[in-house]
Every structure is written in C-alpha cells, then in structure tokens.
Amino acid sequence: MKIARYFGNGQVRIVEEIEPSCPDGGLLVQTEACGLCSGELMSWYMDKKIPHVIGHEVTGVVVESKDARFPVGSRIFPHHHAPCGECEYCRTGRSVHCEQWKKTKLLPGGMAERFAVPLGNLSDTLLVNPLRAIDAALIEPMACVMKSLRTAGVAEKPAVIGLGVMGLMHMIAVGANAVGYDINPLRVAWAKRTGLDARGNDEIAENQHDVVFVCPGTQEAFDAALRMVQPGGRIVMFAPLGPDEPLRIPQDVYFRDIAVLNSYSCGPEDTRAAWELIGKGILRAEQVVSHFIKLDELPAMYLAMKRGEILKPMVVF
C-alpha cells in the first residue's frame, strides 16, 4: 500500500510498504480522508521523528474489527493518542500527560491507504457514521481548539492572532464575538470570505480583548497579544516556539495581572466536544481546507503549505 513518509528538510515521499494487520483487540481501517496538520510543518519537531509517517487528522471505514463496539463497515475517528482513563493525570483532566497517551499511536499513521488502531487507542475512538469523511477528519484539530477554549474560560471579547487553519477554527468555535488578525492578506481574505471578522495586524487595537489566542509559535505574535489584551486578561499560547527560542515575558505582565496559559493537544472530552460541534454543522471542511487532493499530490502540497502559499490540503482516498 502507499504511505507518506517525512524524510527531513521538508521532503515528503510517497512510498510502498506492507499493509498493517489488525492488532489484538483493535481495528484495521480503510482510510477515507486525512488532513495535513500545521504542526507537521515544524522542521525542528519533525526532524526528530525521521522517517516518520505523517498524518493524524484521519477518518476511515473499519474493514476488520476485534472490538464489537466498532463493527466492520462503520466510519470511525481514532485519536492517535489515547489515555488510560485511570491514572492521576486522567482523573484530574490532564490526560495528555498520561503515560499511555504518550505511547499510543496509529500504525503506521494516517497518511496511508490503510492503518491499524491498536487496543490502547480505542479509549478515544468514536463512531462517526453520520458525518462526511472530510468533516470527520477535522475532529482532532478541532478538539485541540476545544481544549484551548476550555483552558481560556469564558471570553466576552476574544481575539485570535494567526488565521491559518487553527486560527480559523478558533474563530468558528468561539462565534460572532471573535476578531482575528494576520499579517498575510491572503489569509485575511479567506477568513472574510468565510464570514469572519478578520483584520490585518495594522488594525490591532490595544487593551481591547479579555482573551487572546496566539496560534503562531513566535515571539512577535506573543508581543502583539500583550498589546491587545486588557489588564486582568488571558493569553493562550496554542503553539510552541522553537527549542532554541525561549518565550520572553516582560515584567509588565505581572503588574497588569495578565495570565499566560498554554494549550497542548487534547483529550477525550475535547474530541467529543469537537465531534458534537461538527455534527451540528458549525464547522465544515470547505471552511478551512483549501485543497482536496490525492495522496500522490501531497509532497508538493506539503511544501506549498509550508511556504504559506496555500491554507490546508486534505488527502481524499
């Protein structure tokens, strides 16, 4: 079968490998759709995993099942990490730090014609038969957004910095009160066509927002958030800076009572919240996916997304 492997320096290749077998207690799935995650564009992060099979924003149809809850022929969403549900971290709502969560993964990955879902992943696998495959494939990234919103708490005047896919999803999930900013006029234009309140960075107003979601992992984006957030407000860092780029937080944050929060990945409660939101039709793939492609087109589209030339590709199998 064909799979997409990352080989470093932004190079993705489509290669032939042996199809996985159905694991004990798990599932074998025929892939229907898989999105390219913006996190998979970070070379410093990806180069540690070479040769990594990319893709985890995925959905497909079960072709072999060893769990009666997920019968053959059903469409599923499997999270690539799933917690045990019993440890201290799971009991206290911190499942992304569970040891099982860290160890679990899809085999070989989502950008493959077929993939296996091990038993450990089934604690965060959902039946999604009513959804279109291209919408169900967005459950994982939207779940990350739902955790971000949960981390932030109630926001009356929210702002989003960065109108890539994750920024757009934040705005769609937050609703009508959200204002989004980006330095890329193409992204601002896309957001406006989607019906969102999108503006260029030259339109930033100081001290106007009680919560600011920072989607780019850059010091410049954080500094912009500091200008925008009200005293007593919250800044949610949705993406990390590079390993050699420590975040500089000025002393003024203390005197203005600004909380700097972090939101990393998501847990089962977030995937269910995302599933419900998508099920209501609040998010549809066409709002955030600019290119629906075949697997063989992915290497070129990977580079185009990395260069900021396109918004997001999704492979439809």
Q: Are 45 and 113 in the same domain?
A: yes
Mean per-residue pLDDT for 153-157?
Answer: 96
Identify whether residues 133 and 165 lie together within a single domain: no
* 258 and 153 in a common domain: yes
DSSP 107: B
Total domains in the fold of the chain? 2
Predicted pLDDT of residue 311: 96
Verify that 226 and 247 share a domain, yes or no.
yes
- Whether residue 131 is found in the same domain as residue 17: yes
Q: Note whether 302 and 255 are same-domain residues.
A: no
Q: Is residue 71 part of a domain?
A: yes
Judge if 6 and 123 occupy the same domain: yes
Q: Are 10 and 303 in contact (CB under 8 A)?
A: yes
5-42: pLDDT as tens digits: 999 988 999 999 999 999 999 999 999 999 999 999 99
| Domain annotation covers residue 241 | yes
Domain containing 21: what range? 2-138+289-316
Same domain, 311 and 225: no
Distance CA 105, CA 77 (A): 13
| In the predicted structure, residue 205 carries a pLDDT above the cut 90 | no
| Model pLDDT for residues 92-102, shown as the tens digit of each residue | 999 999 999 99
Examine the domain organization and report whether 113 and 178 are in the same domain. Answer: no
CATH number of the domain at 114, please: 3.90.180.10
Whether residue 7 is found in the same domain as residue 115: yes
Question: Residue 217: which CATH number?
Answer: 3.40.50.720
Return d(Cα 95, Cα 314) in angstroms, integer.
28
Q: Has residue 114 been placed in a domain?
A: yes
User: In terms of DSSP H, where are the helices of 153-267?
Assistant: 165-174, 185-193, 219-228, 252-255
Question: Where residue 91 falls among pLDDT bands split at 50, 70, 90?
Answer: very high
* pLDDT mean over 283-287: 98
Percent above pLDDT 90 for the chain: 97
For 185, counting Cβ atoms within 10 Å of its Cβ (0-12 exposed, 13-18 middle, 19+ buried), the class is: exposed
Q: Examine the domain organization and report whether 69 and 105 are in the same domain.
A: yes
Q: Is residue 57 part of a domain?
A: yes
For residue 268, tell me if it sits in a domain.
no
